Amino acid sequence: MNGTFISFEGIDGAGKSTHIDSLAQSFRAQGRVVTLTREPGGTPLAEQLRQMVLNDPMDAMTEALLVFAARRDHIRQVIAPALARGEVVLCDRFTDATFAYQGAGRGFDWQTLSVLESWVQANPDQSGRLVQPDLTLWFDLPASIAAQRLAGARVPDKFESQPQAFFEKVANGYALRLAADTERFARIDANQTPAAVWSDVEQAVRSKGFL
C-alpha cells in the first residue's frame, strides 16, 4: 500500500467539509490522483447502510455493526485498491467516529469496538497490518459552539439533533483516541477563522511530508 490515507474527524458542526475539498485540490495540483470519500458510505452498499444509520432508531450495538459492515465494504471496494494504486484517499470520517459516537457518545463497549476494528480493518494484502489512516485530522470545537453553528443550518439528522451533552461525550471519545495514537493524529483548533483553520490543516499535512 503506497498511497496516502487521511481521515477527517470531529463533532457535527466542526466544519471539516470545505477543508477536505481544499486539500483534494492541493494534492491534485501536485499531480496526485485523489479519491474523495466518506463514512458511513463510499460504496452503493455502504451508502444504503448510511441511510439506515442516520435515520432509523436502533440500539448502539446495531449501529456499531452497521457502520463496521459499511466500512468493510468500503475498504475492500474503494480504499485498499486506491492505496494499492498509490493514490491519495481523503475520507470524511473513519473508525475514530465509531469510537467517538457509538462508543463514547452512545456508551457501546470500547473493547468490543477494538475487536471489530481489528477484524474489519485486516489488510487485504495479508501483511498483518490494519488498514488505518496515515494521518487523522481532528477538528476540535467546543460542543456549545458547534451547536450554534448547526442551529438552523439544515434539517438535522438523527445525530445532529442530539443534545449538546451528547457531543461533549463524543468529543471526549476523540480525545481518548488521540491519546492512544498521538503519532497518527493531528488536533486542529476548529474555533478559528476558516483561513486560520486551513493554514493549520496544510501545516499538519506538510509536517508529515505528504504535501
Q: Is 135 in the site for ligand TYD (CB under 6 A)?
A: no
Q: Binders of ligand TYD: how many residues, by CB under 6 A?
A: 12
The span from the CA of 171 to the CA of 104, in Å, is 8
Residue 39 sits in the site that holds ligand TYD (CB under 6 A): yes
> Which three three-digit cell numbers place residue 133?
489512516
Q: How many residues does the chain have?
A: 211
Cα–Cα distance, 161 to 156 (Å, whole number): 5
137: contact with ligand TYD by CB under 6 A = no
Binding status of residue 138 toward ligand TYD by CB under 6 A: no
Calculate the alpha carbon distances from 170 to 79, 107, 159 in Å.
25, 10, 11
Is residue 101 close enough to count as binding ligand TYD by CB under 6 A?
Answer: yes
Applying CB under 6 A, among 97, 113, 147, 171 the residue interacting with ligand TYD is 97
- Min dist CB 101 to ligand TYD, Å, is 3
Cβ within 8 Å of residue 57, ≥6 positions away: 158
Contacts with ligand TYD, residue ranges (CB under 6 A): 12, 39-40, 54, 67, 92-93, 97-98, 101-102, 159
